[in-house]
Amino acid sequence: MSMRPTPPDIDTDLIIIGAGVSGINLASKLADTGVKFWLLGSPFESQLAKAGVLENTPLPEGTVGLKFIEEEMENLKAKQISHRSSLCTGIELTEGGYKVLTKFQNFTTKIVVIATGKKQKSLGFDGEADLFHKGISDCTVCDFPLYREKPVAIVGNHEYTIRAAKLMKQHTSPVSLLWYGSGNAPQLDGIDVFENVTNLSARGDEVLEEISFDHSSGSQVLKVRGLFVEGKPVPSLEFLSPLSLNAHEGHVQIDEEFKTSAENVYAMGDITGKTSNYEGALDHANRLFEVLKAKLGIN
Ligand SMILES: Cc1cc2nc3c(=O)[nH]c(=O)nc-3n(C[C@H](O)[C@H](O)[C@H](O)COP(=O)(O)OP(=O)(O)OC[C@H]3O[C@@H](n4cnc5c(N)ncnc54)[C@H](O)[C@@H]3O)c2cc1C
């Protein structure tokens, strides 16, 4: 069997790792400057794509995150931005800067912008990994159409958990909310709420069939077809470990010019821990663009 040869490295001046709101917007601005750059990552994996109807943004009321991301993608295409959906799997230090690795292609670059945001963290309960995408999902907005008229549960303990439960309630019944760990659970109309959920376990031969768990007033077994894990999104920096970045609770530390502790490596958006919403991510992209303009001598 012949192996496909790895294509030669692409040499560029700047790479944006992460195609969420911040990455897309910085790319869109850089596109008008003539700077040689690449954007890496899948916009459809961004938080906004999974957010559903957006709240507290200056966008028109009722804007749906996924629709908005699709429009942003059209803009990127129109501007002919060099973009790959591949994930960055690692990074190496080179003489002239950095080598950014992906599964299919590597890039050499002088400047790196980290915009990898946050994502849903698996809870690590029994059956979660085995039944992932076989009834267990980490994106209610993406997968709710598959579970119309079917019994489902949502697990987590964040405002996004509540939002996911309300969304499911519009499309199916019964909906159970498993408020994971400690803290006061919200009371929601038409949703069965279980507090202080621990020892969650999911079972099923081919697909999810039932879940069991302990809660504040006993133990429970539920027959469900869908279980949505919707907790607090968290950052991940493991693939960047060779950079030895200063980080705090998984967030990259930056100064007022978005510089990290590694030379010519910048970070913006949720990965910095300095913002956690659409407007903040957009503001970072706008401000970092000004910093890069000055650095690269763009008019
Ligand atoms: C369910 C939910 C609902 C929300 N609702 C709202 C709301 O109503 N209003 C609001 O203002 N905000 C909301 N937010 C928050 C908002 O979406 C985020 O704060 C904002 O989108 C963050 O943008 P970002 O560019 O920093 O990161 P992200 O959106 O997290 O994008 C990061 C990108 O980096 C990519 N990536 C990660 N690792 C790699 C890698 N190794 N290589 C390449 N790419 C990588 C990801 O795939 C993703 O495309 C919501 C978030 C969630 C999860």
Q: How many residues does the chain have?
A: 299
Give the Å distance between the CA of 279 and the centre of ligand 1. 12
Those residues whose C-beta lies under 8 Å from the C-beta of residue 230, and which sit 6 or more positions away, are: 120, 138, 140, 154, 155, 156, 158, 160, 161, 163, 164
Q: Residue 176 in contact with residue 251, Cβ under 8 Å?
A: no
Quick one: fold of 10-118+235-296? FAD/NAD(P)-binding domain (3.50.50)
Distance CA 31, CA 21 (A): 15
Do 10-118+235-296 and 136-229 fold alike per CATH? Answer: yes
Question: pTM, whole model, 2 decimals?
Answer: 0.92
What sign does the CA torsion over 93, 94, 95, 96 have? Answer: negative
How far is Cα 65 from Cα 277, in angstroms, rounded to an integer?
Answer: 12
* Domain boundaries along the sequence of the chain: 10-118+235-296, 136-229
Residue to mutate, 274, 277, 287, ligand 1, most ligand atoms under 8 Å from C-beta: 277
Between the alpha carbon of residue 39 and those of residues 16, 107, 113, 221, the distances in Å are 5, 11, 10, 46
Amino acid at residue number 291: V
| Structure tokens given for 258 | 């978005």
Residue closest via CA to ligand 1's atom 53 equals: 47
Pairing, β 247-248 against β 37-40: unpaired
Closest by CA to 24, choosing from 87, 75, 99, is 75
Q: What is the pLDDT of residue 1?
A: 54
Residue whose CB lies within 8 A of the most ligand 1 atoms, among 46, 109, 157, for a mutation test: 46
Looking up tokens 């979660």 gives 128
H helix or E strand, kind and range, residue 28: helix 21-30
Atom of ligand 1 nearest to the CA of 279: 11
DSSP-based three-state secondary structure for 43: helix
Q: Cα 87 vs. chain centroid, distance in angstroms? A: 12
Per-10-residue mean pLDDT of the chain, 299 residues long, equals: 78 97 97 96 94 94 95 94 95 95 95 95 94 95 93 96 95 96 90 97 97 96 97 90 93 98 97 96 98 94
Residue 273 gets which letter from DSSP?
T
CB-neighbour burial class of residue 219 (10 A; exposed 0-12, middle 13-18, buried 19+):
exposed
Q: Which CATH code, of 3.40.50.300, 1.20.140.10, 3.50.50.60, 3.40.50.2300, is assigned to 136-229?
A: 3.50.50.60
- Per DSSP, the three-state class of 288 is helix
Partnered with residue 213 across adjacent β-strands are: 220
